Structures are given as structure tokens and as C-alpha cells.
Amino acid sequence: MDLREIDFERYAREVLPLTAPLWSGRRSFPTYVDQTRAIAASGYGRRHYRTLGLYEGATLLASFKRYGRVVRDGNLRLRAIGIGAVYTPPDRRGRGYASAMLGQALDRARRDGHDLAYLFSDIHPRFYEQLGFQTLASREFSLRADTLAKGRIEVARMEERDWSGVRRCFELTEAGRSAGFVRSPLVWEWIRLRFAHGSERPEGAETNLVVRRGRSIGAYVFGTRAPARDAFVLDEFGFADAAADLVPALLRAACGDLRRLTGWVPPENARALLPRGAARKRKTSILMIAPLTRAGTRLVAAAASSGEEFCWATDHI
């Protein structure tokens, strides 16, 4: 058995028809295929995204998607691979193919000089722990919208022209953290493409808002209005220098007439801007990281000991 890259057209023929019921969401199958193709053909996709499979001869036994990212640890830059869409056809399950596939992928990543691998588990984490992954803080919160402070701000829907300002706000917000995912221009391109596809919104209506200050952006929020849950589901927010006070009012505006604000618990420096609410462990999208070098081991140990969230929901793969 050996690990091989799968070209997109073969992946579309052999894998996507099987994974569509799991991950296509509200998209039709042709749309699911077209949008997956667009990711592969994008600047980010050509440089950092691959589909791989474990083969025995010509037979595909299991498959996954690999995402290249960089992680910041203080002044260090660590190379990471993200693992997503791990899939074994039903008639081949229970034979250890996924374990063999990921074991080969981790060995290859280590040989190629990567410092860590990460994934978001939707199954029992024990499966990945046996491969060397460590579970990190993965919580979701819920609070009443009326506990958010009001403010006299003018809120607008985010437009294409706002992306550069949003990026600047993100970088300023992240500067208060010791570690996290780095977002290069290509990563931002990938995020924008996913937003344009609507693939990140399994429920409700996308509601990305900004507070403008002249030609600049003072604060932004990514999320979804989900009336069926009577909640605004937060993905991420950021703010420029001295504009942290805009965030609670912006989030309250995003909630509108909805009763609750919910989502993944934000990283520590951003979480401090929210009033206290209920928090619990997530049952899905559990962040797990496997260190592959000494630098990766130090990062994972520090992240685990802090007990804080390592990333925003926008970084989910």
C-alpha cells in the first residue's frame, strides 16, 4: 500500500460522489464539484492544497485533503499540514486503511521538514490520539445578546473593497497573541473563495459586517444569522488600534432581533471583549495537533497548558 497524490478529475470521479452526502451541505452535487475544483485551481490550491489517497495497486482504499499552513510561535514560523475530509469507503472500513494512510502522511511530512500536523475531528478523538495527535481546547459559547454593550456606531455589510481593511484588523488583533495561524495573501484568497461559495454556511444567512472609519475599517465580524436557532453564529471578529470598544456593539448589531450570540469560544485576547456566558466542549470540529519536530512539540505543549482556544472558526478545514 502506498500514498499517492490524486489529480482533481480522478478525485471528482472516485471520491466526491461518496463524500457529497457528508460535506456538500446545501449545495447540489454539480456545485459541490465545481467549487472543489475552484479551490484546487486557485492560487492557494496550486501551492498548498492536495488530495491524496492510499492505494493498493489501482485500488483506492482511503483518501484525505492536505492543506499547507504556517503557524506563528512568537518569532518562529512553523510549517504545518492540515488534514481534512478523511474518508474510507464503507466496504473497506475496519481494516486500518485510514490509520495506515495518515501514518504515511505524517512520516512524509516529517521527512519534508514540517513541524506539525493538525485537523478538526468530527469522530472520537481517540482514533487520532493513537496516531500522535493531541486534543486542544475546543469549546463553544452562548450568551444573551442583550448582555452586549450598546454603542452609537454605523454598521455596514462587508463589501469587496473592505478585504484589505479586514486583513489589517485581523493582523492587529492577532498581534496580541503569542501563537496562531498565519494568514498569507494566498490564505486570504482561499478564505474569500470559500465565502463566495457559501460553503462555510450550513445554516442561516451569511452576515459579514464592518464598522468603517473614513476609508479604513475599525472592526469587522464574520458570522451567520440563524433564525431557527434564534442566534447569530460567530465565526470571527477583529478590530483596529484603539477600536476594541466597537466590538460588543458590532456583535449586538449582528444579532439584531435574535436572542443569542453563539459560536466557537474566541482566542484569549478576543474572548476578553465578550461578557460572561455559558461555555461547553464541542462535540465536533475538535482541534487536534500532532507535533513532528521539537519546535512543534514546544508549541503543542504551550497551547495545551494554556487551555485557550488556538484559532478562529474561519480556520476550520
What's 258's domain CATH number?
A: 3.40.630.30
Same domain for 110 and 146, yes or no, is no
DSSP-derived 3-state class of residue 185:
helix
Sequence-distant (≥ 6) Cβ neighbours of residue 7 within 8 angstroms = none
Same domain for 231 and 197, yes or no, is yes
Residue 187 has a pLDDT of 98
Integer CA distances (angstroms), 84 to 29, 119, 175, 205, 265, in order: 19, 6, 27, 25, 21
Same domain for 77 and 120, yes or no, is yes
Q: HSE (CB half, 13 Å, CA atoms) of 271?
A: 21
Same domain for 28 and 89, yes or no, is yes
Whole-structure pTM value: 0.94
Same domain for 271 and 296, yes or no, is no
Residue 201 has a pLDDT of 73
Please list the ranges in the chain whose pLDDT falls under 70: none
Residue 113 has a pLDDT of 97
Same domain for 175 and 301, yes or no, is no
Same domain for 236 and 115, yes or no, is no
Same domain for 151 and 195, yes or no, is yes
Cell 482561499 found at: 190
Residue 203 has a pLDDT of 79
| Residue 250 φ/ψ, nearest 5 degrees | -65, -45
Facing residues of 279 across strands? 141
Cell 473497506 found at: 92
Same domain for 26 and 36, yes or no, is yes
Cα distance between the two ends of the chain: 26
Same domain for 131 and 182, yes or no, is no
Domain of residue 215: give its range.
140-281
Same domain for 276 and 293, yes or no, is no
Is 172 exposed, middle or buried (CB count within 10 Å of its CB: 0-12, 13-18, 19+)? middle
Residue 63 has a pLDDT of 98
User: How many structural domains is the chain composed of?
Assistant: 2
Same domain for 112 and 230, yes or no, is no
Residue 202 has a pLDDT of 73
